[in-house]
Structure 1
Amino acid sequence: MKRLGGIALAFALGWLVAMLTAGTPYAGDIKRVVGPGTLVQLQTPWGVRSAFAPFWESWQLVDAIFFDRARIDHGKMIQGAIDGMLATLDDKYTFYQEPDKAAQTTDDMAGKTGGIGIFLRFADGRAYVWKLIPDGPASKSGILQNDEILQVDDQIVATLIADKSVDDAATALSARIRGKKGTSITLIVQTSGTPARTVTLQRDDIILPSVEWERLSGDIAYFHISEFKRNTPDVLAEGMREFSRTPIKAMILDLRRTPGGLLDSAQRVLGFFYDGTALWEERQAGSLIELTTTPPDSDISRVTVPLYILVDERSASASEVVAGALRDRYPGTLLIGTQTFGKGIVQNIYPLSNGGTIRLTMSQWLTPNKLHIHGTGLTPDITVNDDPAARADAPCVADRMPKAGETLCRDPQLTTVLGLISALR
């Protein structure tokens, strides 16, 4: 028995020495033999070290034995492990973002990024300019809406986005296009039916629009918030100041197709209308925490005119916080449209050491009157469906465009609100 044990030990030691010689597939790299788990396990919290043992054992087996070395990607293995862990929570709002995507999300939510001022769309493995930001570098350089982007610097776009989902393709291409203000970028683009052309331009700081406003006939202030970014309240304040110069008789807040955004941005937006409870937050222990509105700058007076809020099935999260709070706390508020999405939970974003982030659900929220909306949404006071057969008799607001030869748009929800305001006079 001793002899067998000695043979086994000698064999094991011989195997390890052989693995560390340059003539082996492992080229002397001990990490490729034992895997990082042997060292990293020392950093695993003691209370769960035994539970993690099968994970590290699996990592070590793959890393040391799997025959096709080219298919081993440690980054993907780690991301897959994190994704799998979070998937067990059965919460689609809790997820991991890899570093490039996390950086882009941070820029987007700040409302400002270094780039050339375009939005992308993808179809059939190709990338196109969806929209241009006015006065951005791309717009000034002659790049047009629907131009195909063939190449970014030395990177062929078709190769970059091949076999990627739309989201992953957008992340990969955006990472190439974005950059610090003042740096150069060269694109090869093509307008349909014309030869491809090369465009070299300088990146600039791009303000990502999230608020649009205009004065409609009858002294009606119209605001559309597309997302609650960090700078959304500041941009909204500009519109409020503009309308303060000439009195308005009513206000329309359009939150249709508004997926949400930052909770503190929603609290600041609510501060333009009233002082008090913005929402209640319910955490693990079930206790309610009151979150209040944030007052605007001293030079801005709070809104006092009748308020109408447009909502639809894509009004979610922070837009539901605002719509629900205003109905509960701003007298006479009316919600017009269709049932909202129903996202009544809150996520926080936690940075990781590799530059990635985890977005983790930390609580659920209730309206000031303590109404739960998660999974059900807000029911409008007046339900108006977006009837495709409706007449085009409304002003064209936000990104709506009239049909050729017409000046008005089909927007039955806005038409209903304008009728309600007209009846008050």
Structure 2
Amino acid sequence: MNYEQASSDKRSRIVRRTWLGTTLCIGLFFSLVIVSQVVGQNTQKSQQNYSAILQNVYNFILNHYVDQVDPRVLYEGAMKGMFEALEDPYSTYLTESDMTDLNDTTQGSFGGVGLYISKPSGKLPEGKLPYVEVAAPIEDTPGWRAGIMPGDLILEINGESTDKLTMDEVLSRLRGEPGTEVTIRIRRGEKMEFPLTLKRAVIEVPTVKHAMIGDSIGYLKILTFTPMTVERTREAIEDFKKKNYQACIVDLRNNYGGLLNAAIGVADFFLDGGVVVSTKSRLPGESVVYTARRNPLVPPSIPVVVLINRASASASEIVAGALKDRGRAYLIGERSYGKGSVQQVFPIDTAGFKLTTARYYTPSDVNIDKKGIPPDMEVKEPELTEVQLESLNKLYQDNRIPNFVKNEGNASPQRIEEFARQVATTYNLDFQLVRRLIHNEQMRTKIAPVYDLEFDIQLQAAVRVLKEKNVPELIKQSKTLKQLQEEAEAKDEPVGSEGKSTNTQQ
């Protein structure tokens, strides 16, 4: 065999192999395309089949169930079932009542009389009546102008007793179109009863409280994030500036969240450009990075401490996470709740649903869902043992503290301390806890102050840090959430478990 022939045969084999490989690749490609199309068609057909089956079962139940069925009951049951199947506590079907409550919060206002109220449920302590109790009137509202006071009982609404009404029913009767009237019957103390006719007005959901602590610290308490929060926060900071503040405390404790845009707007007051938060969706086009503007309202020279606890969630965690990751604030308190997802509300007639559409990430690219944000300095409220909880429950049932405050409303500090020590000994409870319970009961019939330095140990810690420590240096020594997460993963520990702790009595 000569060389040329061998080379030709070899090239032929190579060509044949090449074409064979190409043919196999093309065949495999078309197979994948066909399989993909079949799978897509089957998926689409399955979705259509499920919808048809649901409709058929719905109709069958309506026509064949032994008793007459309200179609709305079946519809709401099916809707609730679909959202429950997602196993996501934040994706839910919203009834008409749910939508009304949600709209009040997200819109920041509603038609009503302006009262914080509560209603007891379950077994009532001795002497406790099953009526609606006023926790506090909202300043400059119909209820406030009418002289309604904390501790007043609402016995009737438009002639209907409140003892059997649920809280939703009470709210629906007190709220209404601005300009319309509602008549309530008030009991104050044990014998004083009188009717009041209130004209409903537009009530702004309280979102921000602020005050100066001493001459130098501006205290900003954000209750929830509504459309009004950014403007009310701006007003508070401008007020601090007029009073020449030198430091700032942002209190996000017990703030369950609210609007994403409001959280971004608040963080913008403290950050000089850069990332505030990013949201990542399953649909790439819906992922967004939100940034702050330059020249913040709160200059970098003002040290900032943020207070968080186990009830700080969602939008409040966006603010806390942004200020921590960007090195703008020092966090004090307890690990936050850990809600790292974003929901959108979709109306359906008078009802609707809330669906998780994205997850949010802090500036260091961490999602804190089900993990929370650890504070830089942990200050925990004292936790009670099972025995102490039983003792505390017995104290509530015995009604000792309310009776003392009612009978000795003008008791001297010495008498209050004597009573507190007696109760603490009798029920085996911490003296400071009992003292705080007495204080809370006394404040129940007064307008609560913006802050309470006497009993709030986390706020006390924040004030001490601002007055005694170099906050910028503390912030430099703290770690971003990404660093904490990576360290925790390396050690197989909860994020931030190595965080600095402080004794609650310091």
Query: TM-score band (shorter)?
Result: 0.7 to 0.9
> Which deviates further from its counterpart, 45-54 or 213-222?
45-54
| Total equivalences in the alignment | 360
Aligned counterpart for 1:118 among listed residues 108, 115, 118: 115
Q: What's the counterpart of residue 415 of structure 1?
A: 460
Q: What's the counterpart of residue 104 of structure 1?
A: 101
The 2-side partners of 1:127 and 1:385 are apart by 33
Aligned counterpart for 1:129 among listed residues 117, 130, 134: 134
What secondary structure sits across from 1:410 in the alignment?
coil
Q: Please state how far the C-alpha of 1:225 moved relative to its aligned partner.
A: 0.5
Q: Please state how far the C-alpha of 1:300 moved relative to its aligned partner.
A: 4.7
1:144 matched to 2:149: yes
What is the TM-score when the length of structure 1 is the normalising length? 0.76
Q: What's the counterpart of residue 275 of structure 2?
A: 277
Call closer, same or farther: CA 1:291–1:401 in 2, change over 3 Å: farther
Higher strand share: 1
2:313–2:337 Cα contact (<8 Å) kept: yes
Q: Please state how far the C-alpha of 1:218 moved relative to its aligned partner.
A: 4.1
1:307 matched to 2:304: yes
Aligned counterpart for 1:321 among listed residues 309, 318, 322: 318
Q: Please state how far the C-alpha of 1:190 moved relative to its aligned partner.
A: 3.0
Q: What's the counterpart of residue 268 of structure 1?
A: 265
* Letter matched to residue 324 of structure 1: G
Call closer, same or farther: CA 1:252–1:299 in 2, change over 3 Å: closer
1:400–1:409 Cα contact (<8 Å) kept: no
Call closer, same or farther: CA 1:408–1:362 in 2, change over 3 Å: closer
1:347 matched to 2:343: yes
The 2-side partners of 1:401 and 1:172 are apart by 29
Mapping 1:333-412, distance limit 5 Å: 333-352=329-348, 354-387=349-382, 408-412=453-457
Tell me the percent identity. 27
The 2-side partners of 1:179 and 1:294 are apart by 39
Q: Please state how far the C-alpha of 1:413 moved relative to its aligned partner.
A: 1.4
Structure 1, residues 349-378: CA drift from partner, whole Å, max 9, x if none?
1111x2212111111111101122111111
2:107–2:227 Cα contact (<8 Å) kept: yes
Call closer, same or farther: CA 1:126–1:294 in 2, change over 3 Å: farther
The 2-side partners of 1:339 and 1:75 are apart by 42
Which segments of 5 or more consecutive residues in structure 1 lack a partner in the other structure? Answer: 1-44, 162-168, 393-398
What secondary structure sits across from 1:103 in the alignment?
helix
Q: Please state how far the C-alpha of 1:126 moved relative to its aligned partner.
A: 4.2
1:277–1:290 Cα contact (<8 Å) kept: no
1:252 matched to 2:249: yes
Q: Please state how far the C-alpha of 1:129 moved relative to its aligned partner.
A: 2.3
The 2-side partners of 1:67 and 1:147 are apart by 49
The 2-side partners of 1:73 and 1:288 are apart by 39
The 2-side partners of 1:205 and 1:269 are apart by 24
The 2-side partners of 1:403 and 1:133 are apart by 14
Q: Please state how far the C-alpha of 1:63 moved relative to its aligned partner.
A: 2.6
The 2-side partners of 1:68 and 1:238 are apart by 60
What secondary structure sits across from 1:85 in the alignment?
helix
The 1-side partners of 2:193 and 2:432 are apart by 41
Call closer, same or farther: CA 1:313–1:302 in 2, change over 3 Å: same
1:101–1:171 Cα contact (<8 Å) kept: no
The 1-side partners of 2:88 and 2:280 are apart by 17
Which segments of 5 or more consecutive residues in structure 2 lack a partner in the other structure? Answer: 1-43, 122-129, 384-429, 434-439, 446-451, 471-506
What secondary structure sits across from 1:222 in the alignment?
strand
Q: Please state how far the C-alpha of 1:381 moved relative to its aligned partner.
A: 0.7
* Letter matched to residue 141 of structure 1: A
1:402–1:409 Cα contact (<8 Å) kept: no
Mapping 1:135-214, distance limit 5 Å: 135-153=140-158, 155-159=160-164, 161=165, 169-194=166-191, 196-214=193-211
Q: Please state how far the C-alpha of 1:104 moved relative to its aligned partner.
A: 2.5
The 2-side partners of 1:207 and 1:73 are apart by 37
Call closer, same or farther: CA 1:350–1:127 in 2, change over 3 Å: same
Call closer, same or farther: CA 1:239–1:211 in 2, change over 3 Å: same
2:280–2:288 Cα contact (<8 Å) kept: no
Q: Please state how far the C-alpha of 1:402 moved relative to its aligned partner.
A: 7.1
* Letter matched to residue 274 of structure 2: G
Structure 1, residues 304-333: CA drift from partner, whole Å, max 9, x if none?
4111011111111111110010011144x2
The 1-side partners of 2:461 and 2:223 are apart by 21
1:390–1:411 Cα contact (<8 Å) kept: no
* Letter matched to residue 221 of structure 1: G
Structure 1, residues 258-283: CA drift from partner, whole Å, max 9, x if none?
11111000010011011221112121
2:453–2:460 Cα contact (<8 Å) kept: no
2:108–2:204 Cα contact (<8 Å) kept: yes
> Which deviates further from its counterpart, 279-288 or 176-185?
279-288
* Rg larger for: 2
Q: What's the counterpart of residue 19 of structure 2?
A: none
1:52 matched to 2:47: no
Q: Please state how far the C-alpha of 1:62 moved relative to its aligned partner.
A: 3.4
